[in-house]
Structure 1
Amino acid sequence: MRLFDYELSGNCYKVRFLLHALALPYERRAMNFHPGREHKAAWFIEHHHPRGQLPVLEDDGVSIPDAQAILVHLASRYDPAGQWYPDDPAIRARIAPWLAVADDLTGSAGAARLHDAFGYPLDIAACRRAARAVLRRLDDHLAEGASGGARWLAGTPVPTIADIACFPYVALAPEGGIALDAFPALRQWVGRFRRQPGFIGMAGIMAPQIGP
């Protein structure tokens, strides 16, 4: 397996997280996303992603684009315990909408972060408004679930790829000028995710400190 990766990308991070959780060996191909824009190079677009986006995973010679699609692929193929993407159709039906929400987070909170970090020419006010609307939806869902004892997005006793997919751009939202102060249930969920055994972080999402 080979991952075309950018260290500071939340979408790439979620794939690295699941590869780590599943203890899967892989080759990491670091891409010069900024300022080199290597993901827009002709060779990458021709052979790996027609829209020139990261991440892309090569598995058995097949290039799989899109972070959420990669999560489904990895969990379906390499998680015999079935934690991350259970076989139960009802649970998969609950997971699917959150994969779409993860795309909404990329296009709002993730875009705001690109604007602030790299100066991408975006309507930053619109990005932040859209991000807050998505965060409100997540917070309301988590708060409602908590009243019934649910701790994770799909209502499962353990996290699934729904949680992996949504986590990075929630946790990184402050880097795009979007505070999480108004979303208490979401902040608690971020804390739970970070306290998982074997958690790995990235710049802006560090592993929690372990006390004496």
Structure 2
Amino acid sequence: MRLFDYELSGNCYKVRLMLHLLGTSYERHPINFHPGREHKAAWFLEQHNPLGQIPVLVDQGVSIRDAQAILVYLASRFDMTNQWYPADALIRARIQIWLATAEEITRTASAARLHDALGYAFDVEACRTGARAVFRLLDDHLAEQHSAGGRWLATPHAPTIADIACFPYVALAQEGGVSLDEFPAVRAWIADFRHQPGFMGMAGIMAPQLGAH
């Protein structure tokens, strides 16, 4: 398998994290996202993703685009524990809701981060307002889960690909000027996610120190 990847992309990171948690070997193919815009190059558009977006996972000669779709593929193919994408129809429906929410987080919080870090010409205040609205939804849901004894988005006691999909750009929100101070349940969820076994960080999302609580 090959992963077309950019180190600082939250969407690429969630795929790397999934591969790491599954213990699945792969080859990384770095893409010069900025300033090279290699994801918009003709060869990439023709061979891998006509939308010019990363990540793209190539397996068995097939290019799979969209981070959330890749998470579904990896969990379906390689997760022998059935934790990350359980077969139960209702749980899968709940997961799908949060995969769609992850796209909205990318459209808002990630866009604000791209504006601040790389100078993308987005309406940053609209992006931040949209991100806060999604985070409010996320915080309310997590608070309800916690009051019922649960900790995760789609199931009570174990994270799924729903959590992986939503995690990166929430954890990186402050790089786009969006504070998490008013979202205590989200902050607790981020801490829980970082302390799960096998967690691997990225720039801006550090793994907790060994022995830290």
TM class by smaller structure: over 0.9
Residue 29 of structure 1 corresponds to 29
Residue 121 of structure 1 corresponds to 121
User: Separation in 2 of the partners of 1:97 and 1:88?
Assistant: 15
User: Separation in 1 of the partners of 2:120 and 2:93?
Assistant: 35
Residue 72 of structure 2 corresponds to 72
Residue 4 of structure 1 corresponds to 4
1:166 partnered with 2:148: no
**What letter corresponds to residue 94 of structure 1 in structure 2?**
R
Shift of 1:72: 0.2
User: Separation in 2 of the partners of 1:131 and 1:210?
Assistant: 32
Residue 41 of structure 2 corresponds to 41
Residue 100 of structure 1 corresponds to 100
SS at match of 2:15: helix
Residue 177 of structure 1 corresponds to 177
SS at match of 2:94: helix
User: Separation in 2 of the partners of 1:81 and 1:155?
Assistant: 15
TM-score computed with the length of structure 2 as normaliser: 0.98
User: Separation in 2 of the partners of 1:164 and 1:103?
Assistant: 12
Per-residue displacement from partner, 1:137-168 (whole Å, max 9, x unpaired)?
A: 00000001110001000023110000000000
Residue 207 of structure 1 corresponds to 207
User: Separation in 2 of the partners of 1:104 and 1:119?
Assistant: 20
SS at match of 1:58: strand
TM-score computed with the length of structure 1 as normaliser: 0.99
User: Separation in 1 of the partners of 2:39 and 2:91?
Assistant: 34
Structure 2: stretches of 5+ with no match in the other structure: none
Residue 191 of structure 2 corresponds to 191
Structure 1: stretches of 5+ with no match in the other structure: none
Shift of 1:45: 0.3
1:81 partnered with 2:84: no
Per-residue displacement from partner, 1:165-207 (whole Å, max 9, x unpaired)?
A: 0000000000000010000000000000000111100000000
Residue 135 of structure 1 corresponds to 135
* CA RMSD after TM alignment: 0.8
**What letter corresponds to residue 178 of structure 1 in structure 2?**
V
User: Separation in 2 of the partners of 1:195 and 1:44?
Assistant: 36
**What letter corresponds to residue 105 of structure 1 in structure 2?**
I
**What letter corresponds to residue 24 of structure 1 in structure 2?**
T
User: Separation in 2 of the partners of 1:72 and 1:156?
Assistant: 20
Identity rate, percent: 70
User: Separation in 2 of the partners of 1:197 and 1:57?
Assistant: 24
C-alpha contact (below 8 Å) 2:149/2:156 kept by paired residues: no
Shift of 1:210: 2.4
SS at match of 2:181: coil
**What letter corresponds to residue 77 of structure 1 in structure 2?**
R
Per-residue displacement from partner, 1:25-46 (whole Å, max 9, x unpaired)?
A: 0000000000000000000000
Provide runs of 4+ in structure 1 moved above 3 Å: none
